Amino acid sequence: MFELLVREWAGKEVDPTHRGLDVELHLTPGLADENFVAEAIGNVAAFRLQKERHEPLTWQVVRVEEGRSHHFRLLVVHPDRVLDPGIAHALARTLDSLSNETTDELRRQLHAAEEEGLHPTPLRHAHESVDFWNDDFWHWMG
């Protein structure tokens, strides 16, 4: 249903444990109710990660508009400290387990997580434009 890409945080290449995780969620093109799917996947995955690691986490699910295209991002941080090593792997494992679920199954899992205490974060919207002068190609060219 989607593809994962762990990216940089706040536009800077950093160790993912430095400040947080920024995971791109690329949903299958033409997926019905994709905003709900992204919001459900992000909230359920972050909530499960929080429960599995027994620590408070803060997260956001963002729809990023780029001209005529868009993708979704899941941003995860610890409110008090840097993230532990291995958290990206644990999150990827959780996201992979949700990647082939149907919309109805995601709805059921979101409802079950809410019954366990999840307070879903609403989907945020952001606009991003490509900065060709800050593109990795230009860094490579030197």
Q: How far apart are the C-alpha atoms of 114 and 54, rounded to whole Å?
A: 17
Q: How far apart are the C-alpha atoms of 103 and 111, rounded to whole Å?
A: 12
Per residue in 17-71, pLDDT tens? 456 888 888 888 888 899 999 999 999 999 999 999 898 999 999 999 887 888 8
Number of structural domains, the chain? 1
Q: How far apart are the C-alpha atoms of 20 and 84, rounded to whole Å?
A: 10
**In this structure, what are the phi and psi dihedrals at residue 108, rounded to the nearest 5 degrees?**
-65, -45
Q: What is the CATH number of the domain that holds 71?
A: 3.30.70
Question: Per DSSP, what are the bridge partners of residue 77?
Answer: 58
| Residue-range definition of the domain harbouring residue 39 | 2-141
